[in-house]
Structure 1
Amino acid sequence: MNNNKKTKKKRHNGEGSIRQKPNGRYEVRISGRDMETGKSTRISKYADTLDEAVDIQHALSVAMVQTPQYLQNNTTVGEWLDNWLTTYMQHTLKQSTYKSYETYVRKHFKPSLGTIKLKELTPRTLQIFYNYKQEQENLSPKTISNLNMCLHKALAQAQSEGLILSNPSGSVSLPPLIKPHIEVLTREQQARLVQASYQFRYGVFVRMTLVTGLRLGEVVGLRWCDIDFYTNMLHVNQTLNRLQRYDDDEADSKTEIVTQTPKSQNSIRSIPMLPELVMDLQNWRTVQMQDAAAMGTSYFDSGLIATQENGLYVEPRLMREYYQKMLAAANLPNYNFHALRHTFATRAMEQGMDAKTLSILLGHYSVGFTLDTYAHVLTDQKWTAMQTMANMYNMEPPLRQPIQFF
């Protein structure tokens, strides 16, 4: 090979180039890209001969390819979480879930971890962070679990893009979850509440919840088109809740009423209506017609079942206020509205409904979750079931026989 001939050898994009300088030496250039700034970066080496330059170019090309992308990236945890929220989460999550994630990032992760480089975040750092949240800020085990679930999703995306080698959130020790206390009305309390509910405009919806197990958002989001009086079936297709706006930067400001699909795919379900509920709804339809006649052109036909006198929706807060008034009228403690759903499930299991059917009616994601949630009901059922086994075994001791020696 003629080393004295001026040569400029170009390579394909990413492979670099070789060119001879006026002094006769060869310059090897390898180009790459800074993933944080988007700007190109270049490495230059020099050789005395073209063959040596080719060897250097090959070595640099391999090194450039083998250099992990995460080592070139200086994105901080806060920058990545902001990017992850807007790019991957905002247009795929329900508004309520997105606002929860946004709050976790803004109130918890960014103040403590935001300035750490993503590639330098370790399980130990996260463990110290979660320990602090539990011990100093008294966050519940459930909240800490939710925080880590959110962070795990964000870091999994970073890992899939080559920004980190592993996901540190999977190597932390979280506090054990405490099973929440389930509030259930006794049969006597339930009867008193039903009687008191007839004194109130929205009593029909308390009675509805006691015989369907609907969530509050499902109750106030129910429409007349979701009711089939021919088959006496109630179809859960949407919920109505007051949520923070997507574009709200403050934790406790600017909310809006949002109708959206139910909590999960399993929550989209159909529930048979008992005759008493069918009659209740037909009577309530008459009340709505009277409202419309009284309001005239000022009446707004929303298509919803739970409505105020002017036809507008009944938001969850208003329904809760009326529910508390019913509890007071029945001289009952301040059970939360969700206790009505728990009461329905408890009564269903007490009456012998199988767990699979109950799980479907409640819209749970698994039968196991239903059984675990309402395990308190099974104690009495286990005693009853064991009594049916009493006559299956002959437990009479045998007549005493003399001991025989062989």
Structure 2
Amino acid sequence: MSSLVKVLREKYGREFISVEELSSELGVSVSELIMEAKSKKIKAVKIGRNIQLSLKGIECMLSDEELNDNEYQNSLDQVATPTVTSEQSDERIELVECDVDMSKGCITYVKSSNRWILQIDLGKTVDGKRIRKSKSFKNEEDARQALALELAQLNKISQREVGDIYWKGNPITSQTQLKDFFEYFLSLCTAKPHTIEGYFETARQIARDLGEVSLQNLTTSVITQFFNDFKKNYAQATINKTFSVLKRALELAKECELIEKNPMSNMKRPKTTKEGEVNKQVYKAFKDEELKQVLKACKEYSQCTYTMAKVLQYTGLRPGELRALEWRDIDFEVGVIHVRQAATQEREGMTLESRGTIKSVIGTTKTPYSVRKIPVNSEVLEVLKEWQEYVKSDRAYEKARKCQYVFPSTRGGMIGSTGLSIKFRKAMQQAGLHGRGYELYTFRHTFCTNLIKQGVDIPTVQRLMGDNTTDVILKIYTSVEERDLLSATKKLKGYFENRDL
């Protein structure tokens, strides 16, 4: 018996321990343990919320011994019978058996989110960091098919030399064109779906001009010329994002020893020279009279649009937070709206040539700081109650009556971002404000502006807005201050005119 297994048995006093406990004991990641268990055909079971491995299986993982099937199955039965309930047994982690030469893959079922997670181990970077790819699916069949497809594409390579990098069956070298390296770079990015989509869009813009240039020919002068042309046509925010994505991609190329140095390491971020471009973002807010017009138009357009407008007026919610709002999030007794989640758009099958397919999903808020409680007044609560009764009685919302979302579509699911935008666009047209640069976020900026006008301190405004930095708030504050200064000088002009000075 392995001395480590003996120590574990004495320390924990049981035949199964969690992968988190084993991870701590061995000093390796949980994911690596699961992958190793799969490669040795050691079953992992989920008991409650913990993924567990048997000490017998761990002993085999740490040695060259073969599993004694009967003995191993007995250990599984012993822990499963008294501990795993019928509900929990459905939550077992199934490690998919697959013959893989260069990469390992598995799918796991996460009961809490009712999703199947695909994970593929793509090896390590030159500095020893794990390279993994993961996707989530609604059902097991889709996850299995995607796993089979991914592994089939990866395993077209017969024998790969250690240290070489391959993507879609082709080696990546210093001769690889930037557009092909971008595909590899983007496959390794881990961020929220909306952020990844932004990376793809930025990569497409770069690839239009530099896509066919090889990595080794991407010199500082070539990139400088690209940005000299680019800055003439784009705003500063776009330039900043483009500069950042390209620099990060080339830094990966350097880490993979495809290029000797990052040609952008000493480059300064260029400034826009676009004609008429102001190098600071303007955050527009409704004037008081305009807000009255908008609310009146929303009420005339539909009960749903008016209710959403009132909620936005008094909470400053982001559109995604509004769409994901559930009835359980509204505390009518206390007068508080809880912001716990946000709707976002997720694209599948994105490449530099295709934007893939899009779908709406519920995810986390923009940042952990965005999870918050917003007190609301009786007017908002009354409007929400009226809307709740409207949904229960209106025939158009018959399919949505059991829906948990505050603002469902008439089909019963979450209202789409396009549907939300259309409602407000039509209301804006009705109010005579369409084409003035107003959008859904204008409600958020108006909320912030009015808080500042009322003398609310910046930290409190920041907490109500759910922003982890004060950048946007301070820009809105500056904008408000400038308008107040202009208003003050106009009053001064009138003061002097009245005195004939």
TM-score class, shorter-chain normalisation, is: 0.5 to 0.7
Structure 1 contact 73–163 (Cα < 8 Å) conserved: yes
Q: 1:111 to 1:291 in 2, by over 3 A?
A: same
* 1:93 paired to 2:196: no
Q: Aligned partners of 1:223, 1:347: CA distance in 2, in Å?
A: 26
Could you tell me how far apart the structure 2 residues matched to 1:358 and 1:118 are?
A: 46
2:391 and 2:400 in contact (8 A); partners too: no
Structure 2 distance, partners of 1:81, 1:195, is 49
2:284 is matched by which residue type in structure 1?
Answer: E
Structure 1 pair 103–230 and aligned structure 2 pair: CA distance change class (3 A): same
Residues 196-205 or 176-185, more deviating: 176-185
Cα pair 1:300 1:312 within 8 Å, conserved = no
Report the equivalent of 2:298. Answer: 197
Matched residue SS, 1:168: coil
Query: 2:211 is matched with which residue: 90, 114, 118?
Result: 114
Runs of 4+ in structure 1 deviating by more than 6 angstroms, as ranges, are: 380-385
Equivalent residues in 2 for 1:315-334, closer than 5 Å: 315-334=416-435
TM-score by length of 2: 0.56
Q: Quick one: structure 1 residues 355 and 134, their matched pair in 2 at CA, closer, same or farther if it must change by over 3 Å? A: same
| Residues 1:180 and 2:180 are matched in the alignment | no
C-alpha distance in 2, partners of 1:110/1:237? 38
Report Cα offsets for 1:71-113 as digits up to 9, x if no partner.
x855443333221211x21xx22112112212332x2333433
CA displacement at 1:243 relative to structure 2: 4.6
Deviation string 1:230-280 (CA, Å, 9 cap, x unpaired) is 432222222224453344665566322222222223223221122211222
CA offsets 1:319-339 (integer angstroms, 9 cap, x no match): 222223333443434422211
State the partner residue of 1:305: 406
> Are residue 234 (structure 1) and residue 337 (structure 2) matched?
yes
Q: Does 1:149 align with 2:149?
A: no
Offset of residue 375 of structure 1? 0.8
Contact 2:338 2:374 in 1 (8 A): yes
Specify which of 225, 230, 247 is matched with residue 128 of structure 1.
225
- Counterpart mapping for 1:244-283 below 5 A: 244-247=347-350, 250-251=353-354, 254-283=357-386
Q: Distance in 2 between matches of 1:111 and 1:309?
A: 41
* Alignment pair present for 1:314 and 2:415: yes
Aligned residues with identical type, % of pairs: 24
Change (3 A) 1:301 1:352: same
Query: Alpha carbons of 1:353 and 1:381: their partners in 2 closer, same or farther (altered >3 Å)?
Result: farther
Would the alpha carbon gap of residues 362 and 258 (structure 1) be closer, same or farther in structure 2, given more than 3 Å must change? same
Of the candidates 476, 480, 484, which is equivalent to residue 373 of structure 1? 476
Number of paired residues?
312
Q: Which amino acid aligns with 1:363?
A: G
* Contact 1:237–1:268 (8 Å) recurs in 2: yes
Aligned match of 2:254 in 151, 155, 159?
159
Cα distance between partner residues in 1 of 2:431 and 2:205: 42
Change (3 A) 1:371 1:230: same
Report how far residue 352 of structure 1 moved.
Answer: 0.6
Q: How does 1:2-81 map to 2 (within 5 A)?
A: 35-36=163-164, 74-81=175-182
State the shift of 1:345 in Å. Answer: 0.9
Which position in structure 1 is the counterpart of 2:201?
Answer: 103
Question: Aligned partners of 1:85, 1:332: CA distance in 2, in Å?
Answer: 40
Tell me by how many angstroms 1:36 deviates: 4.5
Q: Counterpart of 1:181 in 2: which secondary structure?
A: coil
Conserved 8 A contact 1:127-1:173: no
Q: Distance in 1 between matches of 2:249 and 2:397?
A: 54
Distance (whole Å) between structure 1 residues aligned to residue 252 and residue 408 of structure 2? 43
Letter in 1 for 2:387: W
Q: Report the alpha carbon displacement of residue 374 of structure 1 after superposing the two structures with TM.
A: 3.0
Unaligned runs of 5+ in 1: 1-32, 39-71, 386-406
1:103–1:251 contact (8 Å) kept in structure 2: no
Change (3 A) 1:204 1:78: same
Alpha-carbon deviation of 1:154? 2.1
- Within 5 Å, which residues of 2 pair with 1:349-388? 349-379=452-482
2:231 aligns to what SS in structure 1? helix
